[in-house]
Amino acid sequence: MISIKNDKDIEKMAKAGSIVSEALKLMESMIKVGISTMQLNDEAEKFILSKGAIPSFKNYNGYKFASCMSVDDVVVHGFPSNRLLEEGEILSIDIGAKILGFHADAARTFAVGKISRQKQRLIDVTKQSFFEGLKECKEGARLGDMAFAIQHYVESHGFSVVRSMCGHGIGKKLHEDPQVLNYGQKNTGIKLKNGYALAIEPMVNLGEHEVYTDIDGWACRTKDGLPSAHYENTVIVTKDAPIILTI
């Protein structure tokens, strides 16, 4: 069942969205060589709580932290840690917040100090792939149209789309129907309706698309060890351009 959000729901989700977006900006401003992802996580968690919101990920399926911190070959679901970030690494931060009964969820990939041109291109293509998908995200379009647009953009730049994880509906629960794949065929999948809330989140690998789960049971890593990037926003489907709640 896919829930339709009314104007009141959307207002609440927008509150959650602005808290998530501010938390990401706060962490971005702190990123530098020699800081730990735990420090970033702790500041963001304090910020979310100070707004009267709750970190969506903490205690979700046994996850212990407010954020996911995924460095280089970690695609998603890395734990924050006390290890200090090093020059040239890329860090994907994923965070969610719940307020007034509704969640918002977003992710960005950031550079630590000076990074290679290849890593910068990976970050840029991942972000742009979200916006290419968004062009196909409106009432009456099908999920496959968006999935195809993301995959086509990513692959035409020589990178690959992670298949084993996807975006999702979002609202009163962090993960709702439908699944939002980042690869697929035009003219397939369900038709989007006004009031659907979706977390669209392409995960893009510099090398091959295959991934595996680390022995910690959470961190998802690229099989070839090459870096991966992530870009996610929570959006509301309308008859025209979607409303982005987390920028």
- For ligand MF3, the binding residues (CB under 6 A) are 57, 60-61, 63, 68, 77, 94, 105, 168, 199
Provide the minimum distance between the beta carbon of 89 and ligand MF3 in the complex, in angstroms, as a whole number. Answer: 20
Amino acid at 199: A
Nearest CB to ligand MF3, comparing residues 77 and 209: 77
61 binds, among ligand MF3, Co ion, none (CB under 5 to 8 A by kind): ligand MF3
CB nearer ligand MF3, residue 116 or residue 213:
213
Minimum Å gap between C-beta 150 and Co ion is 15
CB of 40 to ligand MF3, least distance (A): 15
CB nearer to Co ion: give 12 or 230: 230
Comparing every residue's Cβ against ligand MF3, the nearest one is 57
- Which listed option, ligand MF3, Co ion, none, makes contact with residue 68 (CB within 5 to 8 Å by class)? ligand MF3
Report residue 229 as tokens: 């990037």
CB nearer to ligand MF3: pick between 25 and 32: 25
Q: Which does 60 bind (CB under 5 to 8 A by kind): ligand MF3, Co ion, none?
A: ligand MF3
Minimum separation from the CB atom of position 38 to ligand MF3 (A): 15
Q: What's the min distance (Å) between Cβ of 100 and ligand MF3?
A: 20
Contacts of 62 (CB under 8 A, 6+ apart): none
Q: With beta carbons less than 8 A apart as the criterion, state whether 91 and 112 touch.
A: yes
Instruction: Considering the complex, state which of residue 199 and residue 203 has its C-beta at the smaller distance from Co ion.
Output: 199
Residues that bind Co ion in the complex, under the rule CB under 5 A: 105, 199
